[in-house]
Amino acid sequence: MRRSLVGALGVVLVNGTLLPAASAQTDLISRMKDPAQWPMAARDYANTRYSQLDQINAGNASRLQLAWTFSVGADRGQEAAPIVIDGTMYVVGPYAGPYPNRVFALDATTGELKWSYAPKPEPSAAGVACCDVVNRGLAFDNGKVFLNTLDNHTVAIDAGSGKELWHTKLGEINKGETITMAPVIVNGKILVGNSGGEMGVRGWVTALDENTGAIVWRAYATGPDKDVLIGDDFKPFYDNLKGKDLGIKSWPADRWQVGGGTMWGWISYDPELNLIYYGTANPSPWNANQRSGDNLWSTTIFARSPDNGQAKWAYQVNPHDLFDHDEINENVLVDLDINGQPRKVLIHPGRNGYMYVMDRTTGEVISADAYDFINAYKGVDLKTGKIIPNDEKTPLLGKTIENICPSAPGAKDWQPSAWSPRTRLLYVPHQHLCMNFKASQVGYIAGTPYVGAEVDMFAGPGGYRGEFMAWDPVARKKVWEIHEKLPIWSGALVTAGDVAFYGTMDRLFKAVDAKDGHVLWQFRAGSGFIGQPVSYRGSDGQQYIAILSGVGGWPGVVANAEVDPRVRNAALGFTGATQDLPFYTAGGSELLVFKLGNAAQDNDHAPAQ
């Protein structure tokens, strides 16, 4: 990549802090209020993935038809969310093909290509990526598009011309570090986290100045308080999280230095409280026998100041994680009436199978209810906040522990849910898998797998492997559900037309009634779906729905990479759960865009009755 920094810009003084004259927060928040746009992967800071558009509704969704398509030219896992700004769609491909992580700017109404940008990354990054070479999306602010590349660079691109403005290197491939997450912009800072927990990478979240690319702060997930950015303002709700340098003391000597806790998922932001929220990933290695203690601050939800990174509170979801139950999943910020009292909460669909509703001002767990079959744990103690382990499922060195539910990817992995303020329901795509788990001794060598476990995954009770459900966080129960034969690895979208969208790995893109879950429409694509659907309004006044088709990700590498489906413990054990996937789909790279057809037209893609 070439290096060219933007020149000095004017600043203004706000509450004693120097900020860019063109406030990033003002630009982004104004776009979030415009239903025509989809300005960030999650649509808004609250991570709702809710569109206020209602032209497409439960009464006419059966008329959806293909408007245009575009190939990103790399047939690997397509997890990115397109973003739409002022009539232009920006989309990024995976780290594969002749132009890894290539960015495209397209007319959002016609599909015409305006420009493309191709970084010149390190090819060797693909060799250390844990679970496919995916990218989860771009960010936008103040005329710039921001890209994270797998080889640990964040890049600023001029949104009008596609010219690179600056790039900053954040991590090292030779340590096993990569970046797969979509960046998030808050108060003029680009927030980025790293991947690589399966390589013993030490996790971090980094803030960069959006105008220069300079690193403003970095908060680690392990180590001393000064590295974790824990200071006098840190006030966790639970007593077991109070103490000095717990990021060292909760580990065997020096193990925190290769302890995982990476952050490759989703970041939420509450502008009123001026706090960001995110979860950290599993501790390293998977073999918990090699890391006694709670292993802080892995599998932890943090609340931090976006301005200086200082932690406000934290809650460890899975102390001394036994099963690779990262908690990088989204935290959806909503205000709910609970027991007759208004509460500012975050909803966290845990990888461990529990649906957490937490007070986002304090970190208190208000409720934690099972949303899938669980036997690895016996519940969550709401007085202490601690999960209750099932000792019968504790992995022992050299012994296969059978039928652990949920499996290593959890009841839900990265695939983001959607919240409707109309129905007051959370729409959750997730898997339904169990596993056999055998722990083994492993040594750390930088840049190589540091796992220490053999895993074999399979369908959970009932024989299905995926579910799309609606959850009521106040009533604390599932309202309706749809079972799928394969894991659901795509994100969710819900609209003001009371339509929810998701994709399946066997090539179906579905629109369902948000109130009762019945299928309104479906489309059979060329490859399976693991992408994130979005909605926007075109220059023609029409509402559009867009999603990338292209199977892959952790569960899909058996269909698009050189993995033998007969080896059940391949792909860190996921191959056992998806051995049949190559019979349903192969890799793909297609952006699909839909809109309503004429009422008089027959719809070839209406669901079978």
Q: DSSP 3-state assignment of 557?
A: helix
At 124, list the tokens.
């060797």
Q: How far apart are CA 260 and CA 274, in angstroms?
A: 27
The maximal CA–CA distance of the chain, rounded, in angstroms, is 71
Please enumerate in sequence order all residues whose Cβ is within 8 A of that of 34, keeping only pairs 6 or more positions apart, or say none. Answer: none
Q: Which helix (H) or strand (E) holds 344?
A: strand 341-349
Phi, psi of 420 (to 5 degrees): -105, 120
What gap in Å lies between CA 264 and CA 408, rounded to an integer? Answer: 16
Residues 6+ apart with CB under 8 A from 212: 5, 6, 166
- Respond yes or no: is residue 516 known to be catalytic: no
3-class SS shares of the chain: helix, strand, coil, % to 5? 10, 35, 55
Residue type, 485: K
562 assigned ligand-binding residue: no
Q: Which residue has the tokens 């200082």?
A: 310
What distance in Å separates the CA atoms of residue 28 and residue 44, rounded to the nearest whole number?
Answer: 9
Bridge partners (DSSP) of residue 606 are none
Beta bridge partners of 453: 439
Nearest-5° Cα angle at 130, 103 to 454: 160
Considering the candidates 132, 307, 324, 513, report the single residue annotated as catalytic: 324
Residue 282 annotated as lining a ligand binding site: yes
How far apart (Å, rounded) are the C-alpha atoms in residues 234 and 217?
Answer: 17
Q: Which of 161, 136, 164 is nearest to 40 (CA)?
A: 136
Contact 575, 558 (CB under 8 A): yes
**According to the annotation, is 324 in a ligand binding site?**
yes
The span from the CA of 178 to the CA of 281, in Å, is 14
Strand extents, DSSP E, 398-464: 400-404, 418-420, 425-431, 433-439, 453-459
- Report how far residue 398's alpha carbon sits from residue 279's, in angstroms, rounded to the nearest whole number: 31
CA distance 291 to 288: 5
Q: Tell me: is residue 177 an annotated ligand-binding position.
A: no
Among residues 312, 326, 512, which one has the least CA distance to residue 420? 512
In angstroms, rounded to a whole number, what is the distance separating the alpha carbons of residues 588 and 71? 9
8 A C-beta contact, residue 596 and residue 60: yes
Active-site residue set: 324
Known binding site: residues? Answer: 79, 136, 180, 198, 262, 282, 324
Known binding site for pyrroloquinoline quinone: residues? Answer: 79, 136, 180, 262
Known binding site for Ca(2+): residues? Answer: 198, 282, 324
